[in-house]
Amino acid sequence: MRCNKYYIILSFFLLPVIGNSQTGRIDGLKKKLWATKDEKYRLDILLSLCEEYQSLNRDTLYSFALEAKNLAASQKNKTQGSLAALALANAYMQWGWVDSALFFIEPEISLNTVSNPGTRDIYFKLTRQKAMCYGNKSDFEKALAILFPILGEAEKYKDTLHMGGIMNTIGSIAIAREEPEEALKWILKATAFSTAGTRYDPVLAAVYVNAANAYNRIGKTDSAYYYIEKGIPICRKIENLNYLATALRVQTNLMKKKGRLQEAEASLKEMFSIRDLTSGGGFFVDDNLELADFYATTGQLDKAIALCKKQLQTGDVYDTTGDESVTFTNDPKMRLAYFQALSGYYRQAKMLPEYQETLEQLIAAKDSFYEANSAQAIADAEAKYEVQKKENTILQQKYGLQRKNFFIYGSLGLLALALLTVYFIFRDYRRRQRLKMTLALAEEKRITVNAVKAAEENERVRIAADLHDNLGAYAASMASNLGYIRVEHADERTLTAFNELKNNSTAIISQLNDTIWVLKKDVLSLTAISDKIKVFVSRIQRSYPNIQVEVNEQIETDHQLPSSQAFHLFRIMQEAINNSLKHSKGEKIRINITGNSNWKVSVEDDGTGMEQVNKSADGGGNGLNNMKERCREAGWYIRWENIDSGGTMVEISPTTN
């Protein structure tokens, strides 16, 4: 059987294909299915199996869903019938037959209302799936027109599980529209609704992989790597093979960017082993392009070219007589991705005739895509025109009836208008004169402020350059020369002094680099400061192998801080982390960085706590005094607090909180 093995994959936006009995849960359910003869119990098991659609072969899913649909009809169970219809829609989606999926979904939505607690969960699943169908057709506007209202309904009923899933789906659409920054706003917001228990793990796994994908697209590789490392274990834990394969694809791309080709190849092989077990391989566009790019990166251009050419075959997707291993790619938008990649590989291989031919095919594919879009746009415009035309006819009829009355009242109004005109002209003249004066003063002030700002900027850049070129060079030279000095036979006092000198030189370079990092920027975002903290944690944690340090970042609004305040915040957090590592006697440190309507950071440990917290906060050593002084200078609030379960928390926030 030939099927359309190509449809758009928006990381976790659509409901993709996944395989045969590959997981322990599926194996257990199948054994129960084979063992039972009770049709009611069999229907329950079939629907449980259909919930594993992301780890089931599409043919197997279809057979289970069809049997469930028939059993639900024979048992006259409307609720389970709706779930079976949803399972059938999932199977059709995996074949790429979106219209068939909509055919089964739309009648069921009206049977399951959101106001009824018994049908609310099914309503959200069906309606979200309907939006996914339109997303699969690249009709993002219609998909969002469905998603935003049901997000409001989920918020109304405080259904945090569906809130997280819907927000993540909205973020996935933004990724598909090449808007990763917009995507992160929704994806990171979804994390706040996905951490209340294991039932949230499927949403959390998708959120983490989506976050890694979005960060990777905007070039923040470290943040992307942080989230993919959190996402993959959850994907393995919940045995969702599609999530895992997609996560491995993102990991492959990140490893490749870091030059870790062997690890990238291992992730790529594991990804395709999962795809081969579940869907026979060759089905996912992103997977194929990632494999082709890996071939090109490792000097195997011939394989990259062959893969793209294979995926560009066209044909009858409903033909049931041919070889089912053939992949057909008929969608103009989908062909664009392969043509763009193929033209690049031909150019890299210096195959100029083939490169020229592919460019022509690329242009033709773009024309076909734009033509299809234009036809849809024309149809929409015609529909709007007909509606507007009817509205204009009604308005003209109303105007004809009211025109006589307007003439009478208009004459009276004209007289009053003439009397008012002179008054308003004079008042407007005076207003314009005052406005000119105000604008002139404002412009003069703007020029002055810009001049001062430019002078400050030039001075800041000059200082940063001087520090780097002069003090930086001397400090680096000092550290390097100290490495050549050997004092093995010196007395203990000399050795201590020498080691202290080496440590101080290293500290000077580190402190100087941090200072230059701040001086080079006019303003720094909360995300940039968070990334700098992650780098600091990764550097210092090597000295404390028995202490786990975790950075939790929930930044919905990426606040911008002046460079001086950013420097204070970085130093305060350094001091707090060092205090916890050296003095808390704990085993775990948690760093929380939050950005909502305002920002807040905190450092928590599970150590012995601080004796007399308030007294320590009021007095304290030089480190605590420095932290308080920096907060006072920046206009922030800082407090220390003993945690009931053990340990200490220090929290910094603007005083406007």
Using an 8 Å Cβ cutoff, are 593 and 558 in contact? Answer: no
Looking at the predicted structure, is the pLDDT value of residue 9 above 60?
Answer: no
423 against 17, higher pLDDT? 423
Would you state the pLDDT for residue 2?
35
Exposure string over 347-379, b if 16+ CB within 10 A, otherwise e: eeeeeeebbeebbebbeebbeebeeeeeeeeee
| Residue 56 DSSP code | B
Would you state the pLDDT for residue 85?
92
Q: What percent helix, strand, coil does the chain show, rounded to 5?
A: 70, 5, 20
Q: What residue type is 237 in one-letter code?
A: K
Per-residue model confidence as pLDDT tens digits over 377-408: 434 434 443 444 455 445 455 555 566 666 67
Per-residue model confidence as pLDDT tens digits over 80-121: 999 999 999 988 888 778 888 999 999 999 999 999 999 999
Looking at the predicted structure, is the pLDDT value of residue 176 above 90?
Answer: no
**In this predicted structure, which of 101-115, 170-184, 323-337 has the lowest mean pLDDT?**
323-337
Domains defined along the chain, listed by start: 7-134 (1.25.40), 523-654 (3.30.565.10)
Would you state the pLDDT for residue 529?
87
Looking at the predicted structure, is the pLDDT value of residue 240 above 60?
Answer: yes
Chain mean pLDDT for the chain:
77
Looking at the predicted structure, is the pLDDT value of residue 246 above 70?
Answer: yes
Of 332, 285, 293, the closest CA to residue 311 belongs to: 285
Looking at the predicted structure, is the pLDDT value of residue 328 above 70?
Answer: no
Looking at the predicted structure, is the pLDDT value of residue 5 above 50?
Answer: no
**In this predicted structure, which of 276-285, 521-530, 642-651 has the lowest mean pLDDT?**
276-285
Q: What residue type is 325 in one-letter code?
A: S
Task: List the alpha helices (DSSP H) in 556-655.
Answer: 563-583, 613-618, 622-634
**In this predicted structure, which of 195-209, 229-243, 413-427 has the lowest mean pLDDT?**
413-427
**In this predicted structure, which of 48-62, 252-266, 507-521, 559-573 has the lowest mean pLDDT?**
507-521
Q: What percent of the chain has pLDDT over 70?
A: 71
> Please, is 109 exposed, middle or buried when counting C-beta atoms within 10 Å of its C-beta (0-12, 13-18, 19+)?
middle
Would you state the pLDDT for residue 165?
92
The two three-digit tokens of residue 466, written as one number: 């001087």
Sign of CA dihedral 207, 208, 211, 217: negative
How many angstroms separate the Cα of 412 from the Cα of each of 407, 418, 534? 9, 10, 74
CB neighbours of residue 545 within 10 Å: 7
Would you state the pLDDT for residue 146?
92
Looking at the predicted structure, is the pLDDT value of residue 26 above 70?
Answer: yes
Looking at the predicted structure, is the pLDDT value of residue 453 above 80?
Answer: no
Would you state the pLDDT for residue 394?
53
In this prediction, residues 585-610 reach a mean pLDDT of 91
Residue 7 banded pLDDT, cuts 50, 70, 90:
very low
**In this predicted structure, which of 69-73, 231-235, 572-576, 606-610 has the lowest mean pLDDT?**
606-610
654 forms beta bridges with 636
599 forms beta bridges with 595
473 against 561, higher pLDDT? 561
